[in-house]
Amino acid sequence: MRLRFQSRARIPFFFLPMAALFLSAIPGTFGQAPSMIGTLSVLPGQSVSGFLEVPAREGLGTTIPVTVIRGAKEGKTLALVAGVHGYEYPPVLSLYRLKNMIDPQKLAGTLILVHIANLPSFQKRTIYYNPYDWKNLNRVFPGDPDGTLSQRMAYVLTEEVVKKCDFLIDLHCGDGNEALIPYTYWMVSGQREMDETGKAMALAFGIPHIIIDKTRSRDLNDSRYLGNTAVLLGKPAITTESGYLGKTDEESIRRNIEGILGVMRLFRMIEGSPRETAPPVWIDRYEVVYSGTDGLFYPSIKMGHYVIKGQKVGQVTDFLGSVKQEVYAPFSGILLYIINTPPTSKGEPLFEVGRVKEEKTQ
Ligand SMILES: [Zn+2]
């Protein structure tokens, strides 16, 4: 994988061999091999930014902007991935801010920041889909080096990010069309130690609604989701949702940053312990209701409201204004997200309901 290189080391890039010699003279770095992400080479105490290359096929390729911050001290590697969906901005903005907040000299371990995983979608402002193959990147993991552009992007992320980290956070939010309350997916794999770590990550991130998600495939060849891919490769992971409707609000950005810092404290990458938060609301069942037809969606309930089983949540009309489908809550629970712009297409989500867990224990 070729890499366009941009180094924040004090010594210019073209003197890199000399820089390596210089760095090897600093106590604590002597003899330590550089970390490699793509062709990005990172020594202890360095922050390096560049691009992972997704090789072109039939003239169509792309790049993935990343920053690797390797602490001066030994520690774990935490991967933070934003922009798997290109219309989800708070996670993207959070990672650019975080890049400037973290001092490699005070960091233990390594942060891999994937700034915008899905650059084609980001640049063309598309929800869900990559505009060049109309696939949803978060449904094609673990990817395929010989597949379409999205599948090749997933493959690069699996090889260069998932396989090279110890833990992963896949940062999402409501897409450009989704009104969404913040929540975290804790993916339960059945592997006890991994699940306990994932739970600790979800709690340390600090969002008060946590979905206990036992629905993900346990077949790595059909992992589909980035977070699930990480879990199936033995890397504890959570998927977070903070932000909505294509906004760039400060509250959603700060929630992401505070969450990431909480997980970094959990893994002792920075000083301090995760902040105390109120016990979360555990969601033990969730369901997405999809549109049965093309047309316009009219929601009748707001995000975060509680709906009763059978309650009408909205309706879909055709392009001439006739009602074609009324949609109802499949069970009682919290409306985690609801589509809040008019366009809808057959098979696309309309809303997601989460059932609040009643028992105290997990
Ligand atoms: Zn998303």
What digits encode the pLDDT tens for the residues 248-266?
999 999 999 999 999 999 9
41: pLDDT strictly greater than 60: yes
CA of 44 to the centre of ligand 1 (A): 32
Q: What is the pLDDT of residue 135?
A: 98
Confidence band, pLDDT 50/70/90 cuts, at residue 44: very high
CA of 362 to the centre of ligand 1 (A): 26
323: pLDDT strictly greater than 70: yes
CA of 160 to the centre of ligand 1 (A): 20
The owner of tokens 């989701």 is 225
What would the pLDDT profile of 145-173 be if each residue is shown by its tens digit?
Answer: 999 999 999 999 999 999 999 999 999 99
124: pLDDT strictly greater than 70: yes
Q: What is the pLDDT of residue 64?
A: 98
CA of 75 to the centre of ligand 1 (A): 29
CA of 171 to the centre of ligand 1 (A): 8
Q: What is the pLDDT of residue 192?
A: 95
Cis peptide before 142 (omega within 30 of 0): yes
| Total Cβ atoms within 10 A of residue 310 | 10
Rg (CA), the chain: 21
Q: From CA 83, how far away is CA 109, in angstroms rounded?
A: 23
What are the residues whose beta carbon lies below 5 Å from ligand 1 (ion)?
Answer: 85, 172
Q: What is the pLDDT of residue 31?
A: 53
Q: What is the pLDDT of residue 361?
A: 60
CA of 178 to the centre of ligand 1 (A): 10
Q: What is the pLDDT of residue 123?
A: 98
51: pLDDT strictly greater than 50: yes
CA of 207 to the centre of ligand 1 (A): 16
CA of 162 to the centre of ligand 1 (A): 18
CA of 271 to the centre of ligand 1 (A): 30
Q: What is the pLDDT of residue 12?
A: 40
333-339 and 312-317 strand pairing: unpaired
Q: What is the pLDDT of residue 4?
A: 46
CA of 54 to the centre of ligand 1 (A): 21
CA of 139 to the centre of ligand 1 (A): 11
Residue of higher predicted confidence among 37 and 305: 305
Q: Strand ranges (DSSP E) for the chain?
A: 5-7, 35-37, 40-42, 47-57, 60-70, 73-82, 108-114, 167-172, 178-180, 183-187, 209-213, 237-241, 281-290, 295-299, 306-307, 312-317, 323-328, 333-339, 343-344, 349-356
Q: What is the pLDDT of residue 255?
A: 98
Residue of higher predicted confidence among 151 and 25: 151
Confidence band, pLDDT 50/70/90 cuts, at residue 278: confident
Q: What is the pLDDT of residue 330?
A: 98
CA of 17 to the centre of ligand 1 (A): 40
- Of 1-5, 153-157, 162-166, 271-275, the poorest mean pLDDT is in 1-5
CA of 170 to the centre of ligand 1 (A): 9
23: pLDDT strictly greater than 80: no
Mean pLDDT, rounded, for 277-306: 96
What's the mean per-residue pLDDT of the chain? 92
The owner of tokens 């339960």 is 188
Number of H helices, E strands in the chain: 7, 20
CA atoms within 13 A on the CB side of 73: 10
What would the pLDDT profile of 169-223 be if each residue is shown by its tens digit?
Answer: 999 999 999 999 999 999 999 999 999 999 999 999 999 999 999 999 999 999 9
CA of 12 to the centre of ligand 1 (A): 37
Q: What pTM did the predictor assign? A: 0.91
Q: What is the pLDDT of residue 20?
A: 40
